[in-house]
Structures are given as C-alpha cells and as structure tokens.
Structure 1
C-alpha cells in the first residue's frame, strides 16, 4: 500500500481536505453524517474538499464531491488529500491511515465510550466490558496518532485533555509549541445552518392525523436513544392532556398539546433497534396516548426537509437522565430548535442546560420530575413566557452558526501543521516508574534522615531546622 506524504506538493495553494465518516451520506442523515457535510461545507469556501463515506452515498446537494470509499478505494482519495478529518471508528477500521504521513484531525465531538456504557447496560458485565473496551481502544488509537483534535464543548475538552495526558500526548514538545494546547485540541461544537430557515410545506400540523393547525406541538427532534428519557415526557404529556380536557367547558375546540417524535427508525441500517424506542411506544400505548396525544414518525426526516417540521413546532424538548453520558454530551437536536427560534424545555445536567437557562431560551427541569416537566411545557406553550423564550432562542442561535463554530478547524486545515510531537509520539510510555533526578535526590535524603533520626529526622530535614 503506497500513499503519498502529507506535505503539500500539488500545484496551487488551496489545501485538499478529505472528511471521512462511517455513516451513510443521504437525504436522511444522522448526526455524524450531518456534521461531516456541514464542516466540509465551511471548509470548501477556501479549500478543496471531498467527503468519503465508508457506508453508502445517495444523491444530496452539497458544494463538494461526495464519494463512497470502501477499503482500497479509500487509498486514492487519501493520496489526493493534504489533511484527513476522521470521526468515530474510521481510524480503527482503517489502521493503515495511522501509518501514513498525512496530517490527521480527529473529531471527538461524540464521547462514544460513555454512550456505549449506556447501550451495554442490558449485557452481561463481561460482554459489556468487551464492547466498551473496543470503543476505548478506537478512541485511544485516534488520541495517539492525530495531529489535531476537535470536540463539542469546553467540558469535553477538559475530559479529552486528561485522556491525551494519559497516552503521553501532553509532553514537552506539545507544551512548548503552545502552553494552552489549543493548537492540539480545540472546541468546534455542532452548528446551525447559516441560511435562514425556509419551510416549503407543512410537516406536522394538518398533515399528521390527529394534529390540527390549532394544536400546540412539542417536538422531539431526533433519535430516541437509550440515554434519553422519553418516558417522563410521555407521562407529563398525559397529565397535560387530562388537565386540558377537564378545563374545556365550551363547545369551542381549545388548542391541546401534541408530542411528535421526529424519527424512531435510525437512517443508518447498522444501528440496531433501541430498547428505549420500544419502552416509549409501550408506555404511550398503555396510557392510551398513541395517535391522540403522542405521535411517532416511523421514518427519518430528510435533512433538507427538517425545516417543514421545525416550523410546525411550538416548542422543542430534550429530556434525559443525569449520568456520565449526559455530563459530557452536546445535544445537537437543540441547535435545530434554536435555528427555528423555538422555546426549549430541557432536563438539567448537560452542557446545553446551562446555556438555555442563562440565555432565557427556555426552562430547565430536574430529571424524572413529571410535575415540573408538565408545568414547564404548559408555561411555554400556553403563556406569554413562550414568546419571550422564543425571542431569546432566536438570539442565541447566532452564536452557533457553522461558519462561526468551525473556525478552529478552518484555521488548522489552512496551516496543515503536523503535531509538535509527531517525531517522538511512537515512543513507549514507561510501564515502570523511574524517579527523575530531582525526586531521586529527595528520596535519598529522606532515606538518610530516617536512618539517622526516624520521623523526627525527616521532619527536621524538610522543615529546614
């Protein structure tokens, strides 16, 4: 296998960037595919960009070349590029990439090992450990090899800095190059389209049987993964429905709240059916809400059509449980809510909860609290507080435009500089502790003081008396 060096050697000054994702690129895409394409869109303004999917490609409208590249077909595209941007298991599935001299950016926006801790809860502990270990090995491989890293938040960055330190990447070489380490790892959160939302048709109101143009729609704008909590939300919707029905005394039909799950069938066929989807359906059926108050969209909405659904929503919701995955997550669905200028109700505990609360873009509630959640939903759906929160949501959206948040990645790719420790990064991290000279001297001194005077001798030596 022969791949050219990572040194810019082609005619012209424009960098060549290859963004590689393991997800399908298609009209209906999940987060990894969306992120790959939107980052590529920003990079393509000043660089030559290709997106390569290791899965499949269907026709989509983006201003750059998109290719499907299985195994050896990937070599030609890697050979073309100066910089590789990888995510997920790309490097683990193609270990030969790590042996090239290409400048590699690892996108760590998704702490996969924490997600897999949640996914593996139903497994026997040894099987769960094997699954999480494989994920951790894939992440560690990226952390050892890549020249630059991006993640979704400052809290994530702190976590990844710890991991980088553990594998020897925070060392005299990288520290001398930049003592803030921003040239090693920086924050590039998920973003919002720079284009104004322009719906072309109704997606929910008057289209879905049981949801009228007069109803208030609560939108669950993404997948129902195992680390989310749709169950408390469904119970809160049941409480609201009971109250609204009881309070309606006139013959006039009053607006009611309807919960719409935007997609329960994942667009990536390699993603297995999730237990939480089954549990959410079962609870909704048990409470008699399915098709009247709670609605499940059985398909995944095409990325280009999501505006039609967002425009029909009155509120965006994200409920989850407080655990490790939550603490380091970055709920990308909330960005679509901001793009649409929707008020947001979210569970506390993740990075976005603080942003929502401090900006006034919505209400944050404790986990598993049905009463608090139903009160928050009613407040934003049926009072003027919803209008105020919607205005704050729209204002907040300008901080997350893709063209803004991607700047650290753009800056790095334009320079395409190998990491400062590239020449020494393959050195072995010592498995046995050997005291450095300054510490060895203190240890010898302490030993001598102990022999001469025991505890008193040590105390005298280190107190200077």
Structure 2
C-alpha cells in the first residue's frame, strides 16, 4: 500500500486529548479507527466539530482539525482518498453526502445498529419518538445510498445490513460480488498505561478488603436494572463488605428523557432504601485516562441486558472497554461480544437476570473472591484479538484497493443507459390511466395498482373538480416545504395573508408536503385551496394536479421545496407554458444549496437573464452572494415584515438593565445557530471576569429557544450548557410563535452567533422588543445593526473577542442609561420591518 493514502475520520464529539477527557463511545471509536489506520501506514486526520475547539493540532502523529458545515469543509473532504463517518449522525451526514465527490471513497461506520437501537428505547412519548425516527430515517437511508463500504461490528449486524442494502437497491446483480459490508468491531489500544495510578474507591470510603461490584457506563433503557437493584438491596443487608459503585450512570452527552428516566428511577430507589453513600455510590463520568483505575481496583464489573433484537445486533462499547481494562465481568450475555468472552471463560455467565439468579451468583463471588482473579488472565488473552491495528485491516484493504463501488456502479449505469435501481411504474400505465374514464380508474385503484396509479387518480380527480369550479381569472400558486415553526414557512403564511387582502382567497393555492396542524388550520381559515405535494411524481402529473395557466402567479418558497415541483415550474417557463415565476429564497450560501448541479444552475441563469424567473432574498448580503453565484445583478432584496404582539412591543425602562437577560433562538439539530459558541463565551466571561470581581458586574442569564432534547447535537448543547453555566441557562423546545414571543419578551439582549443566516428573523423580533444586539456578520446584519448604536458587531468564532464584547455589556462601567439608549435605537430601527407588505413588493 502506498504511504500517500490519506484518510479523514469525522467525529462530532471530542476524541481523547489532554483537553478533552470525558469521552463517549463515538469519540472513542473514531480515535481507535484513526490509531489503527495510522499503525497500518495511513496518513490520518481526525475532524471534530467546532463546538469542541481544539488547542492542539496533532496527537500521536494524527492530525486534529475542527469542522463545521461550510464551503471550506466541503472542499476539504474532497482532498482525501477516503472519508470515514458514522452514518447515523443525521444532518451532518447528509451534508457530507451532498458535498463529497464520487471519486472520494466514503466509508460509513455502521457499528451502532441505529434502526434497532432507537426502536428499542421504549419511549414514553411514542408519537414524538416515532416522528423523530421517521425524520432520521431519511438521513440514514440517504447515507447508505451513497456509501462505498459499510463497517459493522459482528456477523449478525452483517446479515442485518445486507438485508437493508438489498431493500435499498444497493445490493443488486451488479454489486453482488463485491464485499461491501466489512466486519470491524470496536477495538482496544494495546497499551494499558496508567498515568496516575491510585485507588479511587478509597475516596468513597470503600476499603481494600471490601467486595466492589462495578457498573460502568450509562443506565440506558434497554438494560433490565430492576432485578439487580432488588439484589443489591438484599446483599447490602447481608454483607457489610459489599459495595456497589455506579460510574457514569448519566450520560452527559445524551439528554433523551427516556435515558434520564432509568437513571432517576435507580437513584430514587437507592436513596429511598437508605443505601446511598453507604453500600451504593454514584460517581459522575470520569476522565478518559482515569477509567483504568476504576477497572483495576474493582473485583468485578456487571453488564446485564434485556433480551431482544437490540441485544442480538449490538456490539457493547463498554464491554470492549472492560476487555481493554482487563476487568472480570459477570453478564447474562446475548450480545455477540459477551457471548464470545463467556465461551473463552473470560466472563461469568448469568443464566438469566432474575433477582434469585443474580443474588445466588453474586453471593458466591463475595464469599469466594479468588474466583474473579482467575478470570483476569483469560480476559488479557482475549484482548489481543481486538487490537485496533488488527481490527481495521478490512478497511485498510478496501482503501488500498482504490476500488470505489459507488462510482463504479454509477459509471456502469451511465455506460449502459440504465435507469436508477428504484422501481419505476411504466410510463404507458400512467399514460393510459390519465386517459381512463373515472369509473375505470376507480376499479383499477380498488384492485391495488401501485401508488403511482393512486396519485394519478387523485390528480385527475382534482383537475376535473377544478374544471367545474367557479374560480375565474388569474390564480396564485405558492409552493412550500413542510409548514413548521421555522422562519421560511412562517414568512410564507404572512405572504399568503397579504395576498388574500388583495385577491380572492379561492384563487390562491398552497402546495405543501405536510406540516404542523395548528399552522395548517390557520391557513385553512384564510379560505385558500390546499394541495399536497407528492415526492417523485413527474411533471405531467403535476401539471394535471394543479392546472397552472400561462398567466398565473407562481411563487416557490425556499430552495428546499420538492425538486420534482421545482423542475416542473422551470420546464413550464422554458417552454413558454408559464410567463414568469418568483422564487423567494430563504437560504444563504448558494454554493451549498445548488452544489455541482451545473445543469440546474445553467437553467436558472438563463431564466433569470430572460426575465422569466425573478429571485428575491431577505438581505443585501445574501443578494450579493446569489448575484455573484448566478452571474447576474437581477436578484433583489425583499424586506421581511416582522411583527410581535403589541403587549411585547415596547421600549425598556432604565432599571430593566440591572440584569442582562440574553436570548438566542433557533433549532440546534445541526449546530448552525452557534449555541455552543455563546455558551462558551459566557462561561469564559463568568470564569475570567465576573468570578474575580463580582461587584463590578451585572448578573446575567441565557435563554435558548428551540433546543430539542432527543437528537445528538441538542443533547450536547444542553449538557455542555448546564455543565458550564448551571442555572444561568434555560432551554426550551420549539414553541408556537406566541409562546416563543413570551419568552423573548422577558429578555433584553439578543445574541446572533449563527454560522449561517439569510436575515435572522429572531433578531428583528428582539429589536421590536427593545433588545440590545450582539451580532456577527451572518447575512442580515446590514439591515439590523449599527455597531455601537444598537449593539455590537462581533466575530463570534473568536471566543476571546466574543467574551470581551459580552464583558463590555455586563460591566457596570457602562451605565443602565447607556444600555437603554442602545435598546431605544434597536426599537426605532425595527419600525421599518413592521411596514413591509409582501403583495406590494412581489406584484408591484
């Protein structure tokens, strides 16, 4: 293998460095893969999300960098021979798929059977869990469709993923002979270095001669913990020298309520039975380098699982770490790794997890401590099988081969003029159906023709209804992505409302794929027509569905509308079946939205040049970006209308600034709103300024709106925020606008640390409530801030600069009167947003 082969391993969370010592399994996995590949002669770089800033550029000859979803990162990933990333990372994974070149090998790490793991959580709020799962499913499947190779942890997983790839058409007659699902389990480092050898149990009051049973890791919902707790209660009464220690029971990186519930119930049981800090001890997550001391000084560690699919397909990260630490284990097994240890006499097998079985086995171990010592040698022998340098060899062979299955199949299909592998309904069937009498269509539908036939039926029925309707004159069509509580759909609701005041509501149609019921109900009350957008149907069916005429008004709202509807409208413009259309784009950075689709870009450029396609964006900076991208000067700014309830729209009193109540609003699922940057800067403010001279500074708080609970990034935002700021930070999930406004009204300063914006609607709403602004130069700043007048411009990526600006605001050297003057300026500047009328701007 050539020494020049380069590999990028992408992690969201930190990997173990001197700076970061509390590491979850994903970070450990990424670092292990990097070590193994580096030991096999590869040039390896590990990329960590910029939410975890690095203070070193390399470790153990492995380069370390930070990443974020921007053009620089999109370019960077295409400079490597291979990229490895966890396929279940959600939005960031989709970003990689959208921007990676076909010539770069994409290796998807699938060692967590995420489809099954999420399903096994037994969530209390099942509708929310199901909804989140459905959204995540699109990301996971999208990732698998692009992957070259897929890493799994064991043979059962290989069978599972082979089935999944077959269902998605990735496993097919062309690809069958290529082994793309590679068994690469979680490995271990060869070194067992103890940097700071000590017995941490003595600090808990546990004596050397006590029998210590260890639980190490999160108390996750799939662990059947209740029989064990009952056993612990019995053993604690019977043996004074019995101690049970739970280390890291609450995962600081996962705030999922179902995960938290198991921990809380365990803690409550222990406390109510008066065992806390007597025979049972809870310890927070420990530093990565210190975990070996917990392993070395315990008698045995326990791992109990709930039987089921999750157990069968899992590869227990914690069990692998126990092997590394050479600690004996007692387990009921059922997962492949534990079963292999039991077979090698390197672990004690529990026949089941009943209270009686647990009691009998643990009682025997307490009485005969020598039994656990015999297991240690067997564990050490098993450990050699899982050294990272050995584990990664299947990846090494794949990268060395330079064979890229995704690219090869793409060329094969192109060379042979083959259609995509997804099943297509024969055009002749739809054609015949579109001409069939309604009675025959009904018969065909009842007999179960594929869904495309049902869609055709629906569109024809709509067209017939419209032909008989009383709608006269010009019609107005608005196309949207899902109607939710994010900025673009809410703006569209205001646009439609303005149009209903100028044209008959019955002449207006909204075409959308679904959305939040309260918002849909609001739209219905306007009296307009609603049509469902259907992904995948062709232009002819779309035209039949909608019946758009040449002189009708058409508005596409955001780049994210369904591509088949977008392409249909562009085709109608190109063929003179539609005079003109308007595209209201709410996204910034066009290079990220349109990528390398040269065909689409050329179509848009030609339509802009001809005057058939008008594009509007919400800010001057965004207009400059799009004009430059499409080589034109015709893209214009539309002034957004911003309104808040009258009870909240007011100037502040001088006394309102005795405390600074910062707020930042925006979903946290992809990290783009920069919540962690704001948290870091405020934590630095507290540690380096306020704590040294509290009397010199105002108190402060931070309100973060629209931060979820269940997704990976939101969980980290919540955990890090609470860890650094404690009760000074409050988190709220996505709320309807009226509720969100109430939270915003209780604050007096708005932070915009977004990595991407097109305007920053929440900033303008804050201005109408008299908020001081702390804002970066993400698009919209021209319209919203004059540095030093209504707030401060700041480079929020520079934490030191960010902190100094915050210090200037909370420092009492700046009077309340000065802050009120800034607040008043914000309020005055925001008045222009209230007057904007969308009908006048779009039509006139």
- Give yes or no for the alignment of 1:190 onto 2:189: no
**1:150 deviation in Å?**
0.6
Equivalent residue, structure 2, for 1:459? none
1:157-181: CA deviations, max 9, x gaps? 11111101111111122223x3xx2
Matches within 5 A, 1:129-168: 129-168=130-169
Given that 1:22 and 1:87 are in contact with CA atoms closer than 8 Å, whether structure 2 keeps it comes out as no
Contact 1:219 1:261 in 2 (8 A): yes
Following the alignment from structure 2 to structure 1, what is the Cα–Cα distance between the partners of residues 127 and 411? 38
Structure 2 CA distance, aligned partners of 1:286 and 1:58?
A: 43
In structure 2, distance between residues paired with 1:150 and 1:174: 17
Q: Partner of 1:63 in structure 2?
A: 61
Q: Give, in whole Å, the separation in 1 of the partners of 2:252 and 2:14.
A: 8
Alignment partner of 1:307 is 2:304: no
Are 1:397 and 2:391 matched, yes or no?
Answer: no
Deviation at 1:62, TM superposition (A): 4.1
* Match status 1:427 vs 2:420: yes
- Give me the whole-angstrom Cα distance separating, in 1, the residues matched to 2:182 and 2:120: 26
Per the alignment, in what secondary structure is the counterpart of residue 162 of structure 1?
helix
TM-score after normalising by structure 2:
0.46
Distance in 1 between residues matched to 2:310 and 2:425, nearest whole Å:
33
Per-residue deviation at 1:358? Answer: 0.9
Residue 79 (1) aligns with residue 78 (2): yes
1:233, 1:63 → 2: CA distance?
A: 44
Which of 2, 11, 19 in structure 1 is aligned with 2:9? 19
Q: 1:316 aligns with which of 281, 284, 301?
A: 301
Distance in 2 between residues matched to 1:416 and 1:120, nearest whole Å:
42
**CA RMSD, aligned part only?**
2.6
Partner SS state of residue 223, structure 1: coil
Post-superposition offset of 1:235: 2.0
Q: What are the Cα deviations for residues 354-411 of structure 1, in whole angstroms up to 9, with x where unaligned?
A: 2132111122224441121122223344423222222222221111111111211122
SS at match of 2:136: helix
Distance 2:333 2:339 in 1: 8
Deviation at 1:65, TM superposition (A): 1.6
1:5-36: CA deviation from partner (whole Å, max 9, x where unpaired): xxx9xxx8511111112223322110001100
Q: What is the distance in 2 between the residues matched to 1:27 and 1:213?
A: 27
Using CA pairs under 8 Å that are at least 6 residues apart, name the structure with larger relative contact order, 1 or 2.
Answer: 1
1:234 matched to 2:213: no
Partner of 2:94: 95
- Alpha-carbon distance between aligned partners in 2 of 1:159 and 1:77, rounded to the nearest angstrom: 33
Deviations along 1:258-305, whole A, 9 cap, x unmatched? 22222134243766662111111111112222111211112x212122
- Which whole-Å CA distance do the structure 1 matches of 2:347 and 2:384 have between them? 16
Provide the residue aligned with 2:44 in structure 1: 49
Once the two structures are superposed, residues 131-186 of structure 1 have per-residue CA deviations (whole angstroms, 9 ceiling, x without a partner) of 2222322221222110001111111111111101111111122223x3xx2xx011
Number of corresponding residues: 406
131 and 266 in structure 1: CA distance in 2 versus 1, 3 angstrom threshold: same
Aligned to 1:387: 373
Q: Aligned equivalents of 1:219 and 1:140: distance in 2?
A: 38
Q: Give secondary structure in 1 for the equivalent of 2:106.
A: strand
SS in structure 1 opposite 2:200?
coil
What is the CA–CA distance in structure 1 between the aligned matches of 2:381 and 2:366, rounded to whole Å?
Answer: 19
Compute the displacement of 1:218 (Å): 1.6
C-alpha spacing 1:418/1:381, structure 2 compared with 1 (3 Å): farther
Match status 1:357 vs 2:342: yes
Residues 231-254 of structure 1: CA deviation (Å, up to 9, x unaligned): 332222222222224xxxxxxxxx
Does the C-alpha gap of structure 1 residues 14 and 74 become closer, same or farther in structure 2, counting only changes over 3 Å? Answer: same
Q: How far did residue 58 of structure 1 move?
A: 4.4
CA spacing shift, 1:38–1:86, aligned 2, 3 Å = same
Structure 2 unmatched ranges of 5 or more:
414-418, 428-844
CA spacing shift, 1:381–1:82, aligned 2, 3 Å: farther
**In structure 1, the residue corresponding to 2:123 is in which secondary structure?**
helix
Judged with a 3 Å threshold, the aligned counterparts in structure 2 of structure 1 residues 411 and 377 are, in CA distance, closer, same or farther, namely farther
1:266 aligns with 2:260: no
Contact 1:91-1:97 at 8 Å conserved across structures: no
Query: Structure 1 regions of 5+ residues with no counterpart?
Result: 1-7, 246-255, 435-465
Are the equivalent residues in 2 in contact too, given 1:343–1:380 (CA < 8 A)?
no
- Between stretches 222-231 and 328-337, larger displacement belongs to 222-231
Name whichever of 42-51 and 259-268 sits farther off.
259-268
Contact 1:144-1:167 at 8 Å conserved across structures: yes
Structural mapping, 1:335-374, within 5 Å: 335-374=320-359
Structure-2 residue corresponding to 1:330: 315
Question: Do the aligned partners of 1:310 and 1:337 also contact (CA within 8 Å) in 2?
Answer: yes
- In structure 2, the residue matched to 1:446 is none
Pair 424,144 (structure 1): closer, same or farther in 2 beyond 3 Å? farther
Distance 1:362 1:63 in 2: 35
Q: Which residue number in structure 2 is paired with residue 32 of structure 1?
A: 26
Alpha-carbon distance between aligned partners in 2 of 1:431 and 1:367, rounded to the nearest angstrom: 49
SS of residue in 2 equivalent to 1:206 = helix
- Which stretch shows the higher mean deviation, 137-146 or 385-394? 385-394
Aligned to 1:117: 119
Check whether the contact 1:193–1:401 (CA below 8 A) recurs between aligned residues. yes
CA shift digits 1:72-96 (9 cap, x unpaired):
1422431331111010444642534
Structure 1: how far apart are the matches of 2:198 and 2:227? Answer: 28
> In the alignment, is the contact (CA less than 8 A) between 2:45 and 2:65 conserved in 1?
yes
Matches within 5 A, 1:163-174: 163-174=164-175
8 Å contact 1:18–1:77 — kept in the other structure?
no
- Secondary structure of the structure 2 residue equivalent to 1:157: helix
Cα gap change, 1:274 to 1:91, in 2 (>3 Å): closer
**TM-score w.r.t. length of structure 1:** 0.81
